[in-house]
Structure formats: structure tokens, C-alpha cells
Structure 1
């Protein structure tokens, strides 16, 4: 049963890959302008926010440059204090209002969600699974794809 759930969620991610590519292209543009990634997560997703920040600041592939990123843990309320217009706010399982202040500041907003909420985000990447563990696996895959694609875009001339 779990294999079918994972397979369906993975197939949905393949269908949605265009949204992941679009988010990565927008993120790359912000990094080119001196932006930083500010990640946060709700509940256990706070550890995923820390993982995202580590991925961008400590690339594991030789030759990939470090990109500025901070984990805000569970505190999206820090976005208006720390954020700048060129920055990127990434919310993992955010509540619907979490990214509103960031968007109001002109920050690029990306939400990794398991439902289609978060209307304030410019890029909503949805893990289409009702199983929270499978949704988390899809989120982990998504942010690793974002990291890889951002670096691909960084290597291309602007």
C-alpha cells in the first residue's frame, strides 16, 4: 500500500516539475541580485528548513558555490525584521499568512506545502499525498531539486 502512495506522489511531482523549475529560476535571479534564502518550517518541518539552509551554504558537490541562506526555525515572524526585497522566503508547511509580510517586502516567496493553501506565495510547490511521511519525502526531494536547479541556473550566463 505505501509503495503505491509513494509512487502516486512521485508521479505527481514529475507532473509538477515545471513549477519546481520556475521556482528555481526565480530563486537563481534573486541570488544573482545579492539575495539570501530565509527558510522556516512549521512543527517538524523546522528541521527541514535547517536542512535547506545547510544545503545552500555548504554545497556537497565540489565546484558548487555556497549561497547565502539562514534557517529561521519555526519563526516566520522574523521575516519582516531580517528580510530584504532581494531575499527569498521559503516556507515548509507554512500557514496561509506566514509569507504575507515577506511578499509585502518584495521578497520572492516559495511554499512547500501538502495542500494547495498559502495563497501569499508566488511559487507553491505541493506534495500531493495525504500521508504526512510521504509528503515530507516529496518536500525533501523538492528542495534538493531546487538546490540543484538553482546551481544549474547560476552556471548559465544571466
Structure 2
């Protein structure tokens, strides 16, 4: 096999891995729609979105917060959101005194109101501090959601997580890339439901019917 054909094969496989994972998530359209409708209902009632994750997940949390707070599409309404991962000093201080597992739960307890939403991001669903953040959020009455990968880990199986979107891949690069697509879709569809406020009271068995 020539160098050219070997490289072409590698490129094809790289795109195929991403395509497979993306198609699996797209096939979960009903779950995505319910999550977006429930989030829109919370925003409509004055809630804010609190996002958090470690490393690349923390960067994604910051990205999500700014997408909602400062939409790149002219005419879209800014919706309140904050990323707990942005405050390095607080993260380090809590970690030093209470342990890294409490970094997000500690902040959640101080920042959150019952009308809010919590969205945790974890590449493999096994980040203890993300799970603790979601557990604290659930205890406080927030709507909770998670973006995870692989088999979803403990986060996907936790009763503290109302909505879970799982990227069916163990490749961290693929999970990261599909997460970006997923939260762009979340942003877009939350606005669709928010702008059609009648749909928030149509009754879906979730937040929107409350």
C-alpha cells in the first residue's frame, strides 16, 4: 500500500469515527428536544444556567456560558449563564481546603437558586467533582443535565441527572468534538422553544408542563 493510500485510509477512518458518534447522538433527537424544552421553561421562569467541567470540559463550560450570555447571532436574546470552571482562584481554594471532589458542589451551593439549571461536562462520565456538583444541584431543586462520553459512567446512571446526552465513543477527541456540536444544538433549540413560549406549556411530562 502506498503512503498516499495509507494516509487516505487514515483520514477516512478519522472522519468515520466522528460520523458514527454524531449519528448516534442525532438519533437521540427526542431526548435532546425534551432537554431543550425543559431548559427553555427554566429560562422563561427567570432561571440561569450553571455549567462546569474539568480541563477541556471546563473550556467547554466557558464556551457554553458565553454562547448564552452573548449570542453570536444578531437578534437572539441573551440568557443568563455562568461557568464555575472560570474562577481558578475559587476552584483552587475549595480544592485545597475541602478536596477536589467538592469544587463544584461548594460553588453550586452558594450560587444556585431553585429555578436554575446545572449542566455538567465529563469526557467519560467519571469526574467525581462533576457528579457531586450535579448531586448538589438536584438537592437544591435545579434541573440537571450532563454531556458525557463512552458508556456515560456514574454520571449518566445517577438519579441526580435529569437529562443525559452521551457521545458513543471512547476516543476523547471525538467526544470533545461531538460535545461542541451537541451544545451548539442545545443553544439553538433552547431559543426555538423560548421564542415559542406556548410550547413551554404544551405538556411533555417534564419541566414544560410544570
Same fold (TM over 0.5): yes
Superposed, 1:1-150 pairs within 5 Å as 1-73=13-85, 75-77=103-105, 78-93=107-122, 94-95=127-128, 96-114=131-149, 115-117=151-153, 118=155, 119=158, 120-150=160-190
Normalised TM-score (structure 1): 0.95
Distance in 2 separating the partners of 1:17 and 1:2: 24
Number of equivalent positions: 158
TM-score by length of 2: 0.72
Following superposition, the deviation at residue 157 of structure 1 comes to 2.6
Give me the whole-angstrom Cα distance separating, in 1, the residues matched to 2:169 and 2:197: 37
Larger Cα Rg: Structure 1 or Structure 2?
2
Query: RMSD between aligned alpha carbons?
Result: 1.3
Higher relative contact order (CA 8 A, sep 6+): 1
State the distance in 2 between where 1:56 and 1:88 align: 13
2-structure distance, mates of 1:28, 1:40: 19
Gaps of 5+ in 1: none
Greater percentage in helix: 2
Which region of structure 1 is more displaced relative to structure 2, 93-102 or 133-142? 93-102
